Structure 1
Amino acid sequence: MRSTIQLKRPWLKRYDPTLVLIYLTTIIFGFTAIAHQNNLGATASLIAGDAFTQYGWVIGLTLSGLGIGFFLSRYVPDERLVTLFISVEILLTLVSGFSVVLAFWGYLNLPHLYLWFIRLVALLISTLIGVEDAMLVRVADKREQDVAQSVGLTFWFSNLGGALAGFTFGQFLMPSLGIFDLALVLGLVDGLAVIGNLLYFRSQLSRFSLKLALTLAVLVALFVTLLGKETVSSQLTQRLYEDRVVKEWNGPYGSKVLTCSTSNTCKLFINGQLQFSSKDEYQYHERLIHPAMSLLTQRIKGRPIDVLIAGGGDGLAARELLRYPQIGQLLIVDLDPDMTRQIALEEPVLSYNQGALRDPRVEVRNEDAFTFLRDDDESWDLIVVDLVDPDNVQAAKLYAQEFYAFAAARLSHDGVFITQSTSPWYAPRAFWTVNLTLQSVFPHVVPLRWNIPSFGDWGWNLASRVPFQVEDIVIDATKTRGLTTEGWHASLHFERNEWAMRDELRAKGIVSTISSPAVLLYYNQRGTWEDWGE
């Protein structure tokens, strides 16, 4: 018996070229829209820091803009549907293609409003996408004559394009092109899609020649800007920094910029945040390494001292450690291969770290420090945490109780743990949260600080399972450039109100964990360097 059940309208049964073009356009603009929004989030994070907040804003604005766009599309009359659809695509290509240029322009010319300007650009892009998607649904519905199918397929293809962008942005698109080139290339892709739609819908368009001329003008502008990218990008990047930009690296773990002044002082920035200045980085790294090594050289006799550095891919902490002949194995676990394979091995950083990563005692692994410590079964005498500040969820887990518990489990009986802990002045609650989180794992924790000219007042925390007296730490001045035993003692000074803040947080039971990253929340409530300077 022959079945009487028949499909009403199989998907693209007739291979309608109009539908094929519509759904292909939906995929392309779905892909480029999400890639553009991710790129704007990365740009805002690079300029302003605090990726946690910036990406949150971009996601919220993307969803809001899509809703606004859907709403506005209801005012587009059917007789002008295709014409306005093409006009929206042209405007979207222009705004999104130059979105990073606009973001930098806002930062340089609107110093107090630049974040809101970047957010306005993100909102405009998502609103245009919303209008475009809604109009594509209506164009498709005229062909399908089945609103459920046209809505379902349009949003399916749009989300498919967005998903592809999400999967490839962090691992391929941004590392391969960088934020500046990526926006321009995506704009060119959008522009070519507009050309295709223009030619196909030519008979239904008013002022076809004008629209074609505008689209070609946008494409030419994008292409010329891309050809001159070195000049344009360098000029925009240069205006972000006081000193001359000499090198830039873009990778999956952020943007790195090296600047050098006329006095030959060089600074390394990661995602816009200063990592070190060659003029005074020794003040940071000497306090990170030598107090801990003083304890260890007293405790451990007759065998090598094995050290694990979490982060520290620039080799500067390793340089200080290699001054001690007692060092045995020195393992650097740094997630970013750009740092360990390029930056640390190229001038001028190679001179600063004195070729530390080429020392036969040094091994480098490009792995996540959290995962490494969780899975590692070796014992370490010293674990040094020399990582970026906890300004995002990924970084905050390396300041969490779970991470410190893994570290404590990997320390030898006499082992010592030390971590950079942000600024006790600039981000005091974040600093004391690190201290209290360490105290939840280690019975003996000592905070220290020093005023480093490039960073301001900076802090560390030294921890051990074995009791020690700070007076027992004697700095070997033959191994340091500036730090002395007296300087070590000066590093231990905190005022009464600072201890009171720690006690207040302790009374609240503040400990940073993966599920409740208090250090991230407090870090994002920090002041500004301008506040510090007042």
Structure 2
Amino acid sequence: MKKPAQPPPASIIKLVLVLSMIFMGACGLVYEYVLSVLGNYLMGTSYEEIFIIIGVMMFAMGIGSLVQRIVAGNLFEKFLLLEVLLGLLGGFSATIVYMLFAVTPAYKVILYCIALSIGVMIGMEIPLLIRINQEYSESLRVNLSEILCMDYIGSLIGALLFTYVLLTHFTLAKISFVLGLTNILIGLVSLFVFRYFLDRFGLLLLVTLVSLGSICFGFYKSADWSRWAEQKYYNDPIVFSETTPYQHLTLTKGRREINFFINGHLQFSSSDEYIYHELLVFPPLVLSATAEKILILGGGDGLALREVLKFPSVRRVDLVDLDPGVIALASHQPDLIHLNQASFSDARVRIHGSTGVSLGETIEVVTRNWRSEFALDSRLEPVAEVNLYLIDADLFVRTFDDLYDCIIIDLPDPSTLELAKLYSFDFYRLLINNLKPEGFLSLQATSPFYSKNTFLSIGKTLREAGLKALPYHENVPSFGEWGWYLCWRHDLTAAQIRKKLDSITDFPTTQFLTPRLLPTCFIFPKNMLQTEKEINFNSKMNPVLWAYYRNDWKYGPD
């Protein structure tokens, strides 16, 4: 292919440079998001890794802006080569880190090295374009404003695309390949537009096409590579794996049990989940013998709902869960349907988005009369109308003012700042407004043994918010010693609550809990709830619970 006799018009060159800057600005920001979110998922350290990796990449961009000063010669060729290298490294970055995560703890070093390298190359892009564009701008002032403005516009576009498009349609691995493809396509387009200025067009074209093919192959194989790497992380075969806009869901199935993980952390095992869910649901429900209206916050797996629907007095259940992916999994995956006893059956959910409300159609759920005096009684009685709200629990309690006989809080541990707000003074103060004066509330509160400070802080927060809180515990083999709180707002004392529990003689069908066992769960061994440390309550403006949780599970309670 012969070199053109004339260079392209200055207006074309300028247009390509401006558009390139927009796309590069978008890609640069999304690279930061992908690596920081990946680090957060893998290390499970809340926003810590997001902050650090973004900071590392910003630092590296500064280094890159200095490094570009030594770049000399044909700047067009250097720019094209930079885009191709950035596309290759960026495209394969998430897959490389994730595959190394499965086989070696050195993945952390690789993650930071890749973040540094990508940051350096991003940092070189803008100064190189400014140097190239200076021949086509009226002045330095105009040159800087043109390039930097397009970079900032691209960053906004990248943020919007990542949040509302890429995260909802692609895994992190595929997002990185999309970004790499974009960088290489920028190089390919620029290769032909700037051909007049290139001395090694054939070599650059070959490198670009090979890189393009590599990225396309990587995109095609990324799902297989990710499954291989993810399977290395789990003992049992993976039967379901999906990344939703909120979290990564994994379901594994062994010979005797299924296990459900969110972001790599075990949420329940079918071998003993009934212990946890019976302890979570039964105390408030058996104390509210005539409870008709129940609110469940979290519980998208349908297991707490399964226990609630055992009580014939219940007529309505409102279940609030942010992630429709969890409810879809629990509603359609055969093993989970068997486990939750099809508690979502016939509930047809219309999803309107996480900032709105998705209300399932009103359905009638029926069960056999467990209180019947006749052993052969097979009558079916209506149990509940189930409504599903796909909304953040914090937004729900700030938006709705309905009253409930019982509130069940089945939320993940406060392992992130986002989750810690759902254990805050502010959240509980609002939630009290949804609890009837004679109603009861229960919630899981992590382990009183392994995370004592966290457990005590949750109790103190509940009391500061105006609730009476009685702790209880039981051993759940998959998690060890686990704790909950039973809360109420009326004038009953803890002694009166214990007396009520002692007087219970009848239960719906259970796999673990009995009327005689339940009162003993409110008895703790000597000194288990004692600490010399001053425990503070948790609030949105002072999220001490997150710090307690991290320290407890890392070092043990003080």
Q: Same fold (TM over 0.5)?
A: yes
1:469 paired residue number: 497
Residues 283 and 452, structure 1, Cα contact 8 Å, conserved in 2:
yes
Match of 1:175 among 168, 173, 177: 168
* Conserved 8 A contact 2:17-2:129: yes
2:390 is the counterpart of 1:366: yes
- CA–CA distance in structure 2, aligned partners of residues 162 and 391 of structure 1: 30
C-alpha distance in 2, partners of 1:206/1:493?
A: 82
1:10 alignment counterpart: none
* Residue matched to 2:298: 311
| 2-structure distance, mates of 1:206, 1:184 | 29
Q: Spell out, residue by residue over 1:27-66, the C-alpha distance to the aligned partner (whole angstroms, 9 max, x if none).
A: 1111122222212222222222123112111221232122
- Identical counterparts, % of pairs: 29
| 1:37 equivalent in alignment to 2:63 | no
Match of 1:27 in 2: 22
User: Deviation per CA, 1:209-253, whole angstroms, max 9, x where unpaired?
Assistant: 333222222211121122233322211222222211111222211
Deviation at 1:277?
1.2
Q: Which deviates more, 129-138 or 517-526?
A: 517-526
Structure 2 partner of 1:9: none
Which range moves more in the overlay, 447-456 or 172-181?
A: 447-456
Counterpart of 2:272? 280
Contact preservation (8 Å) 1:386, 1:420? yes
Does residue 1:16 correspond to 2:3, yes or no?
A: no
Q: What's the CA shift for 1:475?
A: 7.2
What is the CA deviation profile of residues 293-315 of structure 1, one whole-angstrom value per residue up to 9, with x for unaligned ones? 12112xx4xxx521000111111
1:180-210 deviation per Cα after TM superposition (whole angstroms, max 9, x unaligned): 2211122112211111122223343344333
* Alignment RMSD (CA, Å): 2.1
2:320 maps to 333
- Structure 1 position 184 matched with structure 2 position 208: no
Q: Decide whether aligned partners of structure 1 residues 511 and 229 sit closer, same or farther in structure 2, where only a CA change above 3 A counts.
A: same
Given that residues 48 and 272 in structure 1 are in contact (C-alpha distance below 8 angstroms), is that contact kept between their aligned partners in structure 2?
A: no
How much has 1:471 moved relative to structure 2?
4.4
Structure 1 pair 18–379 and aligned structure 2 pair: CA distance change class (3 A): same
Residues 279 and 197 of structure 1, relative CA distance in 2, 3 Å threshold? same
- Counterpart in the other structure of 2:533: 504
Task: Quote how far apart the aligned CAs of 1:493 are.
Answer: 4.5
Q: Do the aligned partners of 1:335 and 1:369 also contact (CA within 8 Å) in 2?
A: yes
Which residue, out of 543, 547, 556, partners 1:517? 543
Deviations 1:431-488 (A, max 9, x none): 2211110010234211222232222332222111132433432474552111234543
1:422 and 2:446 correspond: yes
Please report how far the alpha carbon of residue 284 of structure 1 lies from its aligned counterpart in structure 2 after TM superposition. Answer: 0.9
1:60-97 per-position Cα deviation (integer Å, ceiling 9, x unaligned):
123212211112122223x3433322222121111110
* Matching residue of 2:132: 139
Q: Is the 8 A contact 1:314 1:340 kept in 2?
A: yes
Name the residue aligned to 1:156.
Answer: 149
2:457 to 406, 411, 433: 433
Distance 1:206 1:425, change over 3 A: farther
Change in Cα spacing, 1:164 to 1:487, as seen in structure 2 (3 Å) is farther
How many residue pairs match? The answer is: 505
| 8 Å contact kept, 1:45–1:271 | no
Q: Any conservation in 2 of the 1:243–1:259 contact (CA below 8 Å)?
A: yes
Task: Give the distance between the partners of 1:89 and 1:138, measured in 2 at CA.
Answer: 16
Identify if the C-alpha distance between structure 1 residues 15 and 514 changes in structure 2 by more than 3 Å, giving closer, same or farther. Answer: farther
Contact 1:357–1:363, Cα closer than 8 Å, also in 2: no
Over 3 Å counting, the alpha-carbon distance change for 1:213 and 1:483 in structure 2 is: same
Q: Establish whether residue 385 from structure 1 lines up as the match of residue 409 from structure 2.
A: yes
* Match 1:103 to one of 97, 104, 123: 97
* CA positional deviation for 1:264: 4.1
Whole-angstrom CA distance in 1 between matches of 2:192 and 2:67: 26
- 1:160 aligns to what SS in structure 2? helix
Q: 1:456 to 1:216 in 2, by over 3 A?
A: farther
**Aligned 8 A contact 2:259 2:270 in 1:** yes
Between the aligned partners of 1:225 and 1:457, the Cα distance in structure 2 is 44
Do 1:345 and 1:355's aligned partners in 2 also have CA atoms closer than 8 Å? no
1:376 aligns with 2:376: no
Asked if 2 retains the 8 angstrom alpha-carbon contact of 1:356 and 1:362, the reply is: no
Residues in 1 aligned to 2:201 and 2:480: alpha-carbon distance in whole angstroms: 60
- The structure where helix makes up a greater share of residues is 1
Residue 266 of structure 1 is matched in structure 2 by 258
Please give the TM-score of this superposition, normalised by the length of structure 2: 0.86
Helix, strand or coil at the partner of 1:247: strand
Cα distance in 2 for partners of 1:393, 1:252 equals: 17
Do the aligned residues in 2 keep the contact of 1:344 with 1:353 (CA within 8 Å)?
A: no
What secondary structure is seen at the aligned counterpart in 1 of 2:271? coil
Name the CA distance, whole Å, in 1 between partners of 2:311 and 2:391: 26
Residues 249, 262 of structure 2: 8 Å contact kept? yes
Aligned partners of 2:102 and 2:230 also within 8 Å: no
How far apart are the structure 2 equivalents of 1:205 and 1:442? 73
The partner residue of 1:48 within 17, 40, 43 is 43
C-alpha distance 435-206 of structure 1, shift in aligned 2 (>3 A)? farther
Correspondence for 1:218: 211
2:506 & 2:151 partners in 1: Cα distance?
Answer: 64
Inter-partner Cα distance in structure 2 for 1:443 and 1:226: 53
Give the CA deviation at 1:489.
4.2
Deviation, structure 1 residue 371? 1.5
Give the Cα–Cα distance (whole angstroms) in 2 for the partners of residues 285 and 521 of structure 1: 27
Gaps of 5+ in 1: 1-13
SS in 2 for 1:418: strand
Farther-moved stretch of structure 1 (364-373 vs 517-526): 517-526
CA pair 292-108 structure 1, distance change in 2 beyond 3 A: same
Among residues 492, 514, 518, which one is paired with 1:488 in the alignment?
518
1: CA distance, partners of 2:15 / 2:523: 70
What is the rounded CA distance, in whole Å, between the counterparts of 1:87 and 1:475 in structure 2? 77
Counterpart of 2:368 in structure 1 is none
CA distance in 2, matches of 1:399, 1:30: 38
Instruction: Say if 1:424 and 1:457, in contact at 8 Å, map to a contact too.
Output: yes
In structure 2, what is the equivalent of residue 76 of structure 1? 71
* Distance in 1 of aligned mates of 2:108 and 2:467: 43
Structure 2 CA distance, aligned partners of 1:69 and 1:476?
71
Change (3 A) 1:53 1:475: farther
Q: Which residue pairs with 1:89 in the alignment?
A: 83
Aligned to 1:419, the other structure's residue is in SS state strand
Residue 332 (structure 1) shift: 0.2
Between the aligned partners of 1:166 and 1:37, the Cα distance in structure 2 is: 10
Deviations along 1:244-296, whole A, 9 cap, x unmatched?
111122221112111111x1411111222222111111111011001111211
Q: Is the 8 A contact 1:313 1:344 kept in 2?
A: no
- 1:193 corresponds, among 186, 192, 202, to 186
Tell me how far apart the structure 1 counterparts of residues 521 and 426 of structure 2 sit (CA, whole Å). 28
Whole-angstrom CA distance in 2 between matches of 1:487 and 1:80: 80
Distance 2:467 2:243 in 1: 41
State the secondary structure of the residue aligned to 1:525. helix
